[in-house]
Amino acid sequence: MKTVVPVASALLLFLIVMLLPGCSAIAGIFKAGVWAGIALVGVVLLLVIFLFSRKK
């Protein structure tokens, strides 16, 4: 029973070390997605302004 705790601790440490880089990669993907969304909204706004300015 005494060997279960070190094995569980080692497994937990291994999982933390393996999963943390994945979290930072996902965070980078979401940051890129936010900037892509902002750029898309900007392009759509410019297109709407352009279309309305041509009607007058």
The residue length of the chain stands at 56
Q: Count Cβ neighbours within 10 Å for each residue of 17-32 and write b for 16 or more, e otherwise.
A: eeeeeeeeeeeeeeee
Check: pTM over 0.95? Answer yes or no: no
Query: What is the average pLDDT value for the chain, to the nearest integer?
Result: 80
pLDDT in the model for residue 55: 79
What tokens appear for 31 in the block?
């940051």
What tens digit of pLDDT does each residue of 2-53 get? 566 677 777 877 777 776 676 777 777 788 888 888 999 999 999 999 999 9
